[in-house]
Chains A and B, each alone.
Chain A
Amino acid sequence: MKDEYDLIVVGGGPAGSTAAKFAAEGGASVLMLEKDRDIGMPVRCGEAVGAEGLARFIEPNDKWIASKINSFRLVSPAGLSVDIEGLSDGGYVLDRRIFDYELALMAGNAGATIMTKAYVYDLVKEGDSVKGVKIKYLNEKVEFRSKIIIAADGVESRVGRWAGLKTTIKLKDMESAIQISVGNVDCKPNRLDFYLGSEVAPGGYLWVFPKGDKYANIGLGVAGNHNKSKSARKYLDNFMEKNYPEASILTTVVGGVPCAHTLPKIAADNIMLAGDAAHMVNPVSGGGIVSGMQGGRLAGTRAAEAIRAGDYSYKFLTKYEKQWHKLLGKSYERMYKIKSAVGKLTDDDLNRTAEIISSLPQSKRTLGRVFKTALMKHPKLLFDVVRAFASV
C-alpha cells in the first residue's frame, strides 16, 4: 500500500464517499479512512430523504429504498392529526446500512482506496502546513501523506479543529437525538409522521418513518439546551409507553444533529470540511444526507481541480466555500432564522394551527393555501417548514 496520495478523505459517511468518488473521477489518487469496522454501521439516522435531491447522485434502487413517501402527517401537541397528501416531490425512507455501502462502493469503483478500522488521531504538520494524517490501525501507528485533506468526520469534526478551524457547535444548536428500529407498530407505508410539542420533543420533533409492514424507524431530537433538564431517551421512553407499548425494539442508537448554519470557514490551506463536519445540515429538518453529499461533491471536485493545477492553497480552495454558499449555505441561513421562529411557537400556537388546517377539506389542503391561512402569527412559516422537509 502506498503511503502518499493526492487526497485523503477522513470519514466514510455520505459526505466522505461522495467526495472520494468525485475526486477520483477527476483524476486524483484518493485514500478514504473510516474508523469503524463497517461502512454505514451503526446507522444513526431517521433515513428520510427527498427523492429529487438524491436522484442527482444515484439511480433509485429498491435494494436501499425501504419505503416510498407521498404524504405527511403532523400531530399537534393536543394530539390532533393533520394529513397532507399527494406531495408532488416525494421522498424515500432509506435502508442506510445498504445505502452508505453503495456510496462507498461507487467511490471504490472510481478508484479510491478505502481503509476501515483506520482511526485518524492527528495531522502530520510541517510548521503550520498540513501534510497528512496519523492513524491508528490494528494497534499500529501509521502515517499517510497527502496534498489535500477532506475532513468528512461527521459531528465530531475534530480533524478541522486540529487544522485550526473552529468547528465546535453551540449547545442550543445541537439536537440531542435517539433513534430506534421497531417492529409491531402501526404505521402507514407511504407517510412520514411528525409529532410536535414541548411534551414530545422540545426544540425538535419526534418522527415515525415507515420501513415496512409494521416496521418503522422512530426517533426524536431535542434541542441541546432542553436536553439538560430531561434527556432525549426519557422523551422517547414516554412516547413509546404511551403510543406503542407493544412494540419490539430491534436497535437503539443515539446521536447528534448539528442544526446550525454551515460554518463560515470550511477551507484552509490543504484542507476542506464537508458534511456534518462543516455543519451542512438543513437546520429546520435536521436532514444532512443529501446536503452532505452535495458538499462532498463540491469538495471532491475542487480537490481534483487543485491537484491538476498544483495549487492546494486556501486561495485556490476558497472557491469551494463560495460554491457551497451559493448552492445551499445561503438558504440554510434563512432556514436557521425559520428554525428560531418555529422554536418560539408555543404548544397553543401549534394546536390552533392544527385545528384550522384540519377544518379545511383534504382537497384544499395544498401546502401553500393551508399554511398561508393557518399561521396568522407567522404567516408562511409552517409552509417553509414543510418545504424544508420535502427537500431534505
Chain B
Amino acid sequence: MVTSITSFGRSGLYDWMIQRVTAVVLLAFTVFMIGYMLFNPDLDYQQWKELFECTSMRIFTLMALLSMAAHAWIGMWSISTDYIKPTGIRFLFQSACGLLTFIYVVWGIQILWGV
C-alpha cells in the first residue's frame, strides 16, 4: 500500500470514481451550453441573465464549477507525481495548483451569485 496525503479522495479508488463522475458532469454542462447557444442564436444579455438567475441553473453551474475544480486537482496532482521528481518543486507546483483552484471556485461563486 502506497500512502499519499496529497491526493484528493480517501483512496485511489475514490480519486478514480470522482474523476469519472466529475467528467460526466462537465460533459453534461458542456453539451447543455453548446445546445443552449445553438437553439438561441440571437442571445442577448437579458436572456443570459435570466438563465443564470434560475436556481436550477445555479445548482447546475455550481456543480460544474466544483466538478472542474476536483477534476483539475486530481489530474494535475497525478501529472505532477509522474513528471516532477524533486519533492520541493513538486510540492510548490501542487500548492500553486491548489491555490489557483481555490481562487477560481470562490471567484466563480461570486460571479454566479452576482448576476
Bound pair (A, B) = no
